[in-house]
Amino acid sequence: MSSREACVAADQTDPLRPFRDLFDLPPGVIYLDGNSLGALPKAAVERAASVVTVEWGRDLIGSWNTHDWFALPTRIGDKIAQLIGGTPGSCVATDTTSINVFKALAAALGIQREDAPARRVIVSEQENFPSDLYIIEGIIGMLGHPDGRPYELRLIDDEHPLADALDDDVAVVLLTGVNYRTGAWWDMDATTAEIHAAGALAVWDLCHSIGAVPVDVTAADADFAVGCTYKYLNGGPGSPAFVWVSPKHAARAKQPLSGWWGHARPFEMAVGYDPAPGAASFLVGTQPIVSLATMEVGIDIALSADGQQLRSKSLALTDLFIELVETRLAGHPLTLITPRAHADRGSHVSFLHPEGYAVMQALIARGVIGDYREPHVLRFGITPLYLGFADVWDAVESLRTVLDEELWRAPEFQVRGAVT
């Protein structure tokens, strides 16, 4: 699109346009950070107030039954399963992504210890989100040196691709569906098949995938999947994550955090642990009820949207963002690191700039909220539910002003906060 008028016209015919009215977006703000924290659904405010004042305040402990609090993790988990191509009972909403990575990875390694005990390698990406790698390191430290042979982490990158890493010593591969920094998107079906052909199990981190790109864990024949709900699902700050367990592993998948909520009969208060069937055994302790109940609003919105329309609009918006930056800001040192090919691209766009942090702070000060990632990465999340084509045009124009006028040089934009 070569003009703002064309962008406005495209917004007028956008079938997803009504969804924007479901969110409480501050006036004068273009929000391009939904890949870090989604916007506030208007109905979430009323839902949270009801949970606090009515369910907790008035009905007190009776709400475990009268408002069915105890079923929240599994009921919401079933809704999340619909978004990722899972079946009822295969997914639960619980804990954080990092904790669920630990549980899923431990369960996958447990299966491999029974089936292929000589396999001691965990493969992941050099560019993976660091927390996933830290969890792997922690598990390796806990496992020690059984039979004198340690477990190890093998990292892949552009120079050392997955195919070269899949030797007969690999037990599990942990990959992130969409890279948090670049927006590169793995072909889940083909990659999982490649992992299985090598005798390994596949664990997928879907944090930047769910609600952003098409996901079908069943069609991909994945083994385990985890992800968060506060990004494209708009669940709210720190809203519980999820873990999905393939039904083919449900009877054998044992995670080590055997808490009371994951017991088959939790209120018998039995001395010994008897795991609940399926993904329910991946529940551990008492859940954050207010956050769980509130995040269901965003999940319901995602379920009501047409997935193909979301993907088509995401690609159109990211195409437009890339085109406008490269044509209207051509004289500036911006380097695209997001794949151009649709089949390889998630729903955010990232550019390198040598003064990336200061540039982003100056842009935020002008009401265009993206985010920054080391090293030098300007990251722009494209959320089709509440972003339009005119938003993209205006955001790029603001970026052009920041760069043309060198507004980023102001001293206040050089100071880094605790969260960058």
Query: pLDDT confidence of 145, banded at 50, 70, 90?
Result: confident
Burial of 381 (0-12, 13-18, 19+ CB in 10 A): buried
Examine the domain organization and report whether 149 and 285 are in the same domain.
yes
353, part of any domain: yes
Examine the domain organization and report whether 296 and 311 are in the same domain.
no
CA triple 351-356-357, angle to 5 deg = 135
Catalytic residue numbers?
129, 205, 230-231, 379
419, part of any domain: no
Q: Which residue, 262, 288, 304, sits at the end of a domain?
A: 304
CATH of the domain at 394: 3.90.1150.10
CA triple 305-338-206, angle to 5 deg = 45
User: What pLDDT score was predicted for residue 420?
Assistant: 84
Examine the domain organization and report whether 191 and 287 are in the same domain.
yes
Examine the domain organization and report whether 233 and 347 are in the same domain.
no
- CB 370 within 8 Å of CB 381: yes
CA distances from 181 to 29, 125, 213, 234, 371 (A): 23, 12, 16, 20, 11
Tokens 């339009």 belong to 388
89, part of any domain: yes
Examine the domain organization and report whether 118 and 237 are in the same domain.
yes
pLDDT of 352 higher than 90: yes
Examine the domain organization and report whether 143 and 290 are in the same domain.
yes
Which parts are annotated binding residues? 97-98, 129-132, 176, 205, 208, 230, 260, 286
Q: What is the DSSP letter of 333?
A: -
Tokens 């064309």 belong to 6
Q: What is the DSSP letter of 175?
A: E
Chain segment 300-345, per-residue pLDDT in tens = 999 999 999 999 999 999 999 999 999 999 999 999 999 999 999 9
Q: Which residue, 260, 276, 304, sits at the end of a domain?
A: 304
Examine the domain organization and report whether 87 and 207 are in the same domain.
yes
Q: Which residue, 304, 337, 365, sits at the end of a domain?
A: 304
Chain segment 153-189, per-residue pLDDT in tens = 999 999 999 999 999 999 999 999 999 999 999 999 9
Examine the domain organization and report whether 223 and 317 are in the same domain.
no
Examine the domain organization and report whether 89 and 200 are in the same domain.
yes
Q: What H or E segment, with its residue span, contains residue 291?
A: helix 289-304
**In 3D, which of 93, 119, 150, 35 has the Cα closest to residue 294?**
93
The pTM of the full predicted model, rounded to 2 decimals, is: 0.97
357, part of any domain: yes
CA distance 272 to 187: 42
Query: pLDDT confidence of 146, banded at 50, 70, 90?
Result: confident
User: What pLDDT score was predicted for residue 147?
Assistant: 82
User: What pLDDT score was predicted for residue 1?
Assistant: 86
Three-class secondary structure of residue 412 per DSSP: helix
pLDDT of 148 higher than 90: no
Three-class secondary structure of residue 235 per DSSP: coil
Enclosing domain of residue 318: 4-41+306-413
What dihedral do alpha carbons 79, 82, 83, 86 form, nearest 10°? 120
46, part of any domain: no
Which parts are annotated binding residues for pyridoxal 5'-phosphate? 97-98, 129-132, 176, 205, 208, 230, 260, 286
Examine the domain organization and report whether 299 and 151 are in the same domain.
yes
CA distance 224 to 247: 10
Examine the domain organization and report whether 209 and 114 are in the same domain.
yes
Starting from the edge strand earliest in sequence, which strands make up the sheet with 121-125, in order?
91-93, 242-245, 224-227, 201-205, 170-176, 121-125, 152-156
Number of domains in the chain: 2
CA distance 15 to 399: 28
User: What pLDDT score was predicted for residue 131?
Assistant: 98
User: What pLDDT score was predicted for residue 232?
Assistant: 99
pLDDT of 2 higher than 90: no
